[in-house]
Amino acid sequence: MPPSTTSQLGHLLLGLLHQEPQSGYDLRRAFAETPLRHFSDSPGAIYPALRRLRAAGLITGTLDRTYPRRPREVFRVTPKGKGVLRRWLAALPQASDLERDVGALVLRFVFIPPVLGRRAGVRYLAEFERLLKAHIAALRAFHAAARGAMPLAGRLGLEHGIASFTTHLTWSQEAQVSLRRASRRES
Amino acid sequence: MPPSTTSQLGHLLLGLLHQEPQSGYDLRRAFAETPLRHFSDSPGAIYPALRRLRAAGLITGTLDRTYPRRPREVFRVTPKGKGVLRRWLAALPQASDLERDVGALVLRFVFIPPVLGRRAGVRYLAEFERLLKAHIAALRAFHAAARGAMPLAGRLGLEHGIASFTTHLTWSQEAQVSLRRASRRES
DNA sequence: CCGTGCATGTAATTCGTTACATGATTCC
DNA sequence: GGAATCATGTAACGAATTACATGCACGG
């Protein structure tokens, strides 16, 4: 058996199906109607991805025959799929992820607390925060060094990056507070 | 001749080569060493992309034989390539772009002033601002509507989106001021 | 002479996108 | 009865990623 790699979309589908078993069409609607718009709601993306997950044994599909002439196939995560999901969520953020796609890191965070618990969410965000601080420092250094030689628009673009990452940092700190407060309320 | 579609990476390469003719390796280094890290610096991405651009007649490569045993191929944008670049930069931001990839919109902005002028940059950002305001309002409405039914982490993720887009908005407004100020200084 | 950096590429694979295609149901 | 929505897919294509591969130049 191959190492069974799972794509970003695959992991996201696992996360959504773990929250609630549903059909491919339901997932498409979620992509179209919620702020998950970053992902395409096209059937050519979702149905093949679901078939790959099923082929890998990570989900199973059962036919809902409420309307026999128009069956829906409802997918749910198998124990093996839950293992893959947990491994995805247990990995800490990497610097390379930060530079490539911050949104993916935030998306992953969203699934951590319900699957691995709030403590794991806080640990994840703490590492996220550490990486962000280092990255912002590097951007500032670049900004200071390149100041004179850079055309205006390039400088503005760089400043956009600094502002964005600073917002991620502030959010991450506040989110850690929210998680800790919610945990305290329970105990 | 096919409709000659150019990918995001292709457009970015055109923009960089328009600023300064350079080799594939130079471009790789730019991706690895500047905040353009979002793009892969792997040769498997850049060299094929350069060959596609050359095949489409958008760039030409000339061999630099300073070291005859280790030639570099320096690429420059052709007039046809400049036309493609201008068309890419002249398009206004779309709502779908906003939801898919804000970073791509900011990246595109960076190349506009040097190619199409500061006025075009301001027009682009004004439309960007309009789209951002609408999108933020939609996110806030979703946030208000889903408030109770949403798990904590989901709410935090949504709040991350609102904070991020608000930062884009603030940046866009400040950038417009910077561009206008720079234009005024010249007249 | 050996490791690191310069400089260019190819191959296999995977994945997403767009567009096309089908049929059922519900609402007016 | 016709339009919009439900629900599922396939086919062609383009493009990125990883890994592999080669050879020169230069510093120690």
Q: Which residues of chain B make contact with A163, given a CB cutoff of 8 A?
A: 167, 170-171
Phi, psi of B70 (to 5 degrees): -140, 70
A93 SS3 class: coil
Does residue A100 or residue A59 have the better pLDDT? A59
A5 SS3 class: coil
pLDDT exceeds cutoff 90 at B71? no
pLDDT exceeds cutoff 60 at B93? yes
| Dihedral over Cα of A40, B141, A16, A3: its sign | positive
- Tens of pLDDT, residues B53-69: 999 999 999 998 877 77
- Tens of pLDDT, residues A20-46: 999 999 999 999 988 888 888 899 999
What integer pLDDT is reported at residue A166 of this predicted model? Answer: 98
When pLDDT is cut at 50, 70 and 90, the band that residue B4 belongs to is low
- Tens of pLDDT, residues A112-139: 999 999 999 999 999 999 999 999 999 9
- Tens of pLDDT, residues B6-53: 899 999 999 999 999 999 999 999 998 888 888 888 899 999 999 999
Alpha carbon distance B182, B187 (integer Å): 9
Contacts 24+ apart (CB under 8 A), B46-55: B46/B9, B46/B13, B49/B7, B49/B9, B49/B10, B49/B13, B50/B13, B50/B24, B50/B75, B52/B10, B53/B6, B53/B10, B53/B13, B53/B14, B53/B81
What integer pLDDT is reported at residue A152 of this predicted model? Answer: 96
Residues B109, A157: contact at Cβ < 8 Å?
yes
When pLDDT is cut at 50, 70 and 90, the band that residue B151 belongs to is very high
- Tens of pLDDT, residues B124-148: 999 999 999 999 999 999 999 988 8
**pTM to 2 decimals?**
0.93
Q: State chain A's mean pLDDT as an integer.
A: 93
pLDDT exceeds cutoff 60 at B2? no
- CB of residue A51 closer than 7 A to nucleic acid strand D? yes
Q: State chain B's mean pLDDT as an integer.
A: 92
What integer pLDDT is reported at residue A133 of this predicted model? Answer: 98
When pLDDT is cut at 50, 70 and 90, the band that residue A1 belongs to is very low
What integer pLDDT is reported at residue A70 of this predicted model? Answer: 78
What integer pLDDT is reported at residue B165 of this predicted model? Answer: 97
Tokens encoding B128: 């960007």
What integer pLDDT is reported at residue A3 of this predicted model? Answer: 45
Bases on strand C under 7 Å from any protein CB = 6-12, 14-21, 23-26
Strand D near-CB residues (< 7 Å), B 132-171? none
Taking the CA of residue B50 and the C1' sugar atom of nucleotide D14, their distance in angstroms comes to 15
- Helix B152-186 to helix A102-116 angle (10° resolution) is 160
Task: Look at B114 and A153 and tell me if their CB atoms are within 8 Å.
Answer: yes
When pLDDT is cut at 50, 70 and 90, the band that residue B1 belongs to is very low
Q: Tell me if chain A has a CB within 8 Å of the CB of B83.
A: no
pLDDT exceeds cutoff 80 at A68? no
What integer pLDDT is reported at residue A4 of this predicted model? Answer: 66
Choose from B96, B109, B164 for mutation: most chain A CBs within 10 A: B164
